[in-house]
């Protein structure tokens, strides 16, 4: 009974946390401006001629041209997905700093999550078994066996 009440408490606490996080996340959404969208998209792509810089960070002429193309396409009313597709088709998948979660790349993203969930589930099972394990009680036969072993050892210890 006590464990059931504790479980209900945990479920209630987790539900409250999920609801609070959902409300906080959804209430702060706003429609980004075109310049915010352009900056966000530029941060998602690697500069093709720079080492380790995004299009948003680089001052190279190629990065400036890509930023200009992103802004132009946003002004034309294209979606982020359309612009992303255009840039990947123009430069290759390697330009994207945000790899797609499909195929082998998807396994890289999902494997740690599956491993974590499996480990937590395994720990829960082990802890429950430990908690529910029966405590072994000594029987009269066990006590008699111990007494016989003590009586055989007792004369040797006294010498």
Enter the tokens of residue 35: 């310049």
Q: What is the pLDDT of residue 124?
A: 93
The residues pairing with 37 across neighbouring beta strands, listed in sequence order, are: none
CA-to-CA distance for 58 and 63, rounded, in angstroms? 6
Of the pLDDT bands very low, low, confident and very high (cuts 50, 70, 90), residue 57 is very high
Higher pLDDT, 100 or 62: 62
Out of 20-34, 54-68, 99-113, give the one with best mean pLDDT.
54-68
- If DSSP codes are grouped into helix, strand and coil, which group holds residue 124? helix
**How much is the pTM?**
0.49
- pLDDT for res 76: 95
Distance CA 141, CA 144 (A): 5
- Domains of the chain by residue range: 1-30, 32-98, 103-158
Q: Length of the chain, please?
A: 159
Residue 74 CB burial class (10 angstroms; 0-12, 13-18, ≥19): buried
Q: What is the CATH number of domain 32-98?
A: 1.10.8.640
Token readout for 130 is: 């430990």
pLDDT tens-digit profile of 3-25? 777 778 788 888 888 887 777 76
Match 């001629």 to its residue by tokens. Answer: 49
30 with 21: CB under 8 angstroms?
no
First-to-last C-alpha distance (Å) of the chain:
57
Give me the residue label for tokens 């802004």. Answer: 71
Q: Give the C-alpha distances (Å, rounded to integers) separating 127 from 48, 65, 70, 75.
A: 52, 58, 54, 58
């Amino acid at each position: 009974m006590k464990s059931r009440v504790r479980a209900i408490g945990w479920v209630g606490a987790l539900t409250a946390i999920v609801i609070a996080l959902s409300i906080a996340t959804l209430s702060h959404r706003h429609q980004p401006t075109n310049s915010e969208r352009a900056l966000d998209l530029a941060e998602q792509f690697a500069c093709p001629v720079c080492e380790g810089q995004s299009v948003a960070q680089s001052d190279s002429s190629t990065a400036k041209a890509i930023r200009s193309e992103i802004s132009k396409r946003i002004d034309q009313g294209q979606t982020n997905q359309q612009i992303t597709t255009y840039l990947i088709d123009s430069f290759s998948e390697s330009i994207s700093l945000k790899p797609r979660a499909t195929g082998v790349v998807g396994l890289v993203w999902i494997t740690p999550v599956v491993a974590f969930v499996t480990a937590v589930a395994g720990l829960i099972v082990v802890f429950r078994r430990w908690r529910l394990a029966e405590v072994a009680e000594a029987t009269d036969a066990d006590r008699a066996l111990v007494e016989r072993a003590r009586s055989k050892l007792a004369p040797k210890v006294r010498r």
